[in-house]
């Protein structure tokens, strides 16, 4: 490493030393992550083989997009990989929130109730759920009622509370797999399977919906393989494999996916129309790459947890805890630490490293948010990125890294910025 690249050479030596120690500590976790990535890689390839994916599937259609075989086969491949009856994978989903909104509006009707059992959902969904009479066409504006069961103090599921909250009107049970911007645990696929079992024992015809954002390919199974009826995610997160330029997916039972497709386009049209333009190759190739890239990103998260835990910061999950999503939360306690960390991650990017992120009022979020997003795909967060709402206790949420090396250096450069700003002191390395 050229000294002038990293300025203070002694400091950089100390950071590399800390980094080596952290990697040594996590080596068994890394091996386990590699095993998951390999098995998911093969799962994806098998689905491609089964559906005889060919070069002509990548061509893309125009206009109405009738009989776009590439689109139809992509749906089948996704359904297979996720162990679901059906899937709808489209560039026409503008974001994860739009995808989730289509799924929920697809299956809920006035008078039904949506019950979230994993506490308060992700910030951007608050306005999808809305308020009665908000005039915005939100779920509650349309007469769908909403209830949520908060997580227990220690972040666990309140089983008694969940069972008590299920009523005749409960139509959809909402589950958020990933922590989002919350200092809580994410829910593993096994835990989601337990939710399915317990909830269906109380009410068998309820639709279990999972917001699967950031979860795909971090484990061997997906929620739809343990009885979940409907799930949704973003293609500029895990399953797009860094290549999909936009879009989302919905997977689940044939009936639920069809209902969602009528929200995306129009009743009677559903998934049969929709030109894929030039998006198909990147969606297929991104899905092919996704298991590996997710593995790289998860390693980056484990490394960051190990490093910051050594320095006395609290992290969630801890480095040795099981992973079910990409997100690594680190609690900084002070706004200036948080901002320096996020700015440091940006400095390590290949794209827009010269830009200094500042907190801003982002649409759909309730506090100012600062984001490091030096990415090839705007806001793509399988790429190394960090976001944080500027609110106590000043927690940074970092995720992604298309290569482990990028995630690792990103974290080290962020740490260096904290040290150089005089916010953290680390022991000098004495050879
Ligand atoms: C990212 C995310 C969303 C929303 O996706 P956008 O693409 O930002 O609209 C919803 N839920 C969770 C848990 C997420 O991580």
The residue to mutate among 96, 211, 371, having the most atoms of ligand 1 within 8 angstroms of its beta carbon, is: 96
Q: How far is the CA of 233 from the centre of ligand 1 (A)?
A: 8
* CA atoms of 132 and 199, how far apart (whole Å): 26
The pLDDT, as a whole number, for residue 392 is 93
The pLDDT, as a whole number, for residue 363 is 79
Instruction: Take atom 7 of ligand 1 and give the residue whose Cα is closest.
Output: 96
Residue 220 per-residue DSSP state: S
Q: What architecture is the 3-41+288-420 domain classified under in CATH? A: Alpha-Beta Complex (3.90)
What percentage of residues in the chain have a pLDDT greater than 70?
Answer: 98
* CA atoms of 249 and 251, how far apart (whole Å): 7
The residue to mutate among 116, 180, 382, having the most atoms of ligand 1 within 8 angstroms of its beta carbon, is: 180
The pLDDT, as a whole number, for residue 6 is 57
Find the DSSP H helices in 209-315: 254-264, 280-310
* CA atoms of 185 and 301, how far apart (whole Å): 15
Number of CB atoms found within 10 A of residue 12's CB: 18
* Residue 427, C-beta contacts closer than 8 angstroms, at least 6 positions apart: 14
Continuous segment of H or E residues that includes residue 232: strand 230-234
* pLDDT exceeds 60 at position 2: no
Strands (DSSP E) found in 34-138: 86-90, 113-116
* CA atoms of 431 and 427, how far apart (whole Å): 12
431 pLDDT tier (thresholds 50, 70, 90): low
Cα 74 to Cα 68, 99, 300, 400, distances in angstroms:
10, 17, 29, 24
Q: Of ligand 1's atoms, which has the minimum distance to the CA of residue 381?
A: 1
Residue 211 per-residue DSSP state: E
Taking all residues of the chain, what is their mean pLDDT, rounded to a whole number? 95
Q: Which of 62-76, 113-127, 217-231, 415-429 has the lowest mean pLDDT?
A: 415-429
* Residue 361, C-beta contacts closer than 8 angstroms, at least 6 positions apart: 368, 369
For 61-279, CATH number out of 3.40.50.2300, 1.10.3720.10, 3.40.640.10, 3.20.20.70 equals 3.40.640.10
Q: Do the Cβ atoms of 114 and 144 come closer than 8 Å?
A: yes
Using a CB cutoff of 8 Å and minimum separation of 24, what contacts does 124-133 make? 124/95, 124/96, 124/97, 124/364, 124/365, 125/97, 125/100, 125/101, 125/211, 126/366, 127/364, 128/97, 128/100, 128/101, 128/104
- Most trustworthy range by pLDDT among 300-309, 355-364, 422-431: 300-309
The residue to mutate among 211, 246, 386, having the most atoms of ligand 1 within 8 angstroms of its beta carbon, is: 211
The residue to mutate among 103, 104, 122, 386, having the most atoms of ligand 1 within 8 angstroms of its beta carbon, is: 122
Q: Which of 180-189, 270-279, 341-350 has the lowest mean pLDDT?
A: 180-189
What pLDDT digit, counting tens, does each position of 243-291 carry?
999 999 999 999 999 999 999 999 999 999 999 999 999 999 999 999 9
Q: Do the Cβ atoms of 156 and 143 come closer than 8 Å?
A: no
- Residue 209, classed as helix, strand or coil, is strand
The pLDDT, as a whole number, for residue 8 is 72
* CA atoms of 104 and 128, how far apart (whole Å): 9
* CA atoms of 338 and 332, how far apart (whole Å): 6
Closest CA to 396 of 348, 332, 351: 332
Report helix, strand and coil shares of the chain as percent, to nearest 5: 45, 15, 45
* pLDDT exceeds 50 at position 3: no
What percentage of residues in the chain have a pLDDT greater than 90?
Answer: 91
Q: How far is the CA of 149 from the centre of ligand 1 (A)?
A: 20
* pLDDT exceeds 50 at position 360: yes
Question: For the chain, which residues make up each domain, given as ranges?
Answer: 3-41+288-420, 61-279
* CA atoms of 275 and 418, how far apart (whole Å): 48
Token reading at 124: 């951007």
Lining ligand 1 with CB less than 6 A are 95-97, 122, 124, 176, 178, 180, 211, 213-214, 234
* Residue 37, C-beta contacts closer than 8 angstroms, at least 6 positions apart: 217, 291, 292, 294, 295
* pLDDT exceeds 70 at position 7: no
Residue 328 per-residue DSSP state: E
* CA atoms of 284 and 233, how far apart (whole Å): 16
What pLDDT digit, counting tens, does each position of 285-337 carry?
999 999 999 999 999 999 999 999 999 999 999 999 999 999 999 999 999 99
38 pLDDT tier (thresholds 50, 70, 90): very high
Strands (DSSP E) found in 347-401: 369-372, 385-389, 395-399
Q: Do the Cβ atoms of 342 and 330 come closer than 8 Å?
A: no
Find the DSSP H helices in 53-158: 69-81, 96-107, 126-129
Sign of the alpha-carbon dihedral angle for 185, 206, 96, 298: positive
The pLDDT, as a whole number, for residue 354 is 97
Q: Of ligand 1's atoms, which has the minimum distance to the CA of residue 178?
A: 13
* Strand partners for 251: 87, 231
427 pLDDT tier (thresholds 50, 70, 90): confident
Q: Of ligand 1's atoms, which has the minimum distance to the CA of residue 234?
A: 7
């Amino acid at each position: 490493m050229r000294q002038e690249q990293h300025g203070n050479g002694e400091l950089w030596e100390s950071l590399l030393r800390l980094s080596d120690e952290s990697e040594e500590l996590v080596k068994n976790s890394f091996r386990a992550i590699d095993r998951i990535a390999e098995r998911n890689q093969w799962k994806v390839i098998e689905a491609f083989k089964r559906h005889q994916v060919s070069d002509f599937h990548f061509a893309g259609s125009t206009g109405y997009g009738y009989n776009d075989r590439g689109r139809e086969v992509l749906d089948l491949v996704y359904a297979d990989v996720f162990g679901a009856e059906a899937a709808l994978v489209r560039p026409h989903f503008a974001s994860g929130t739009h995808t989730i909104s289509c799924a929920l509006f697809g299956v809920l009707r006035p008078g039904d109730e949506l019950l979230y059992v994993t506490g308060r959902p992700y910030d951007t969904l608050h306005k999808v759920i809305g308020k009665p009479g908000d005039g915005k066409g939100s779920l509650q504006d349309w007469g769908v009622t909403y209830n949520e069961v908060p997580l227990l103090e220690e972040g666990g599921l309140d089983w008694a509370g969940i069972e008590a909250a299920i009523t005749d009107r409960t139509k959809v049970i909402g589950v958020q797999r990933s922590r989002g911007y919350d200092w809580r645990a994410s829910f593993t696929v096994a835990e989601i399977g337990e939710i399915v079992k317990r909830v269906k024992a109380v009410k068998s015809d309820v639709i279990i919906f999972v917001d699967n954002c950031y979860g795909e390919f971090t484990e061997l199974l997906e929620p739809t393989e343990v009885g979940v009826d409907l799930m949704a995610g973003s293609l500029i997160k895990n399953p797009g494999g860094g290549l999909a330029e936009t879009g989302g997916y919905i997977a689940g039972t044939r009936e639920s996916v069809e209902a969602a497709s009528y929200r995306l386009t129009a009743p009677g049209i559903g998934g049969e129309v929709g030109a894929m333009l030039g998006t198909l190759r990147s969606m297929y190739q991104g899905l092919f790459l996704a298991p590996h890239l997710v593995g790289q990103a998860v390693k980056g998260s484990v490394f960051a947890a190990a490093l910051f835990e050594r320095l006395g910061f609290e992290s969630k999950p801890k480095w040795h805890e099981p992973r079910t999503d990409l997100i690594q939360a680190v609690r900084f306690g002070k706004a200036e630490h948080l901002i320096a960390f996020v700015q440091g991650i940006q400095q390590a990017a290949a794209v827009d490293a010269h830009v200094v992120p500042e907190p801003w009022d982002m649409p759909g979020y309730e506090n100012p948010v600062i984001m490091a997003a030096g990415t090839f795909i705007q806001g793509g967060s399988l790429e190394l990125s960090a976001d944080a709402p500027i609110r106590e206790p000043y927690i940074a949420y970092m995720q992604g890294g298309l290569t482990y090396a990028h995630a690792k250096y990103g974290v080290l450069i962020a740490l260096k910025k904290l040290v150089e700003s005089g916010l953290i002191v680390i022991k000098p390395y004495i050879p």
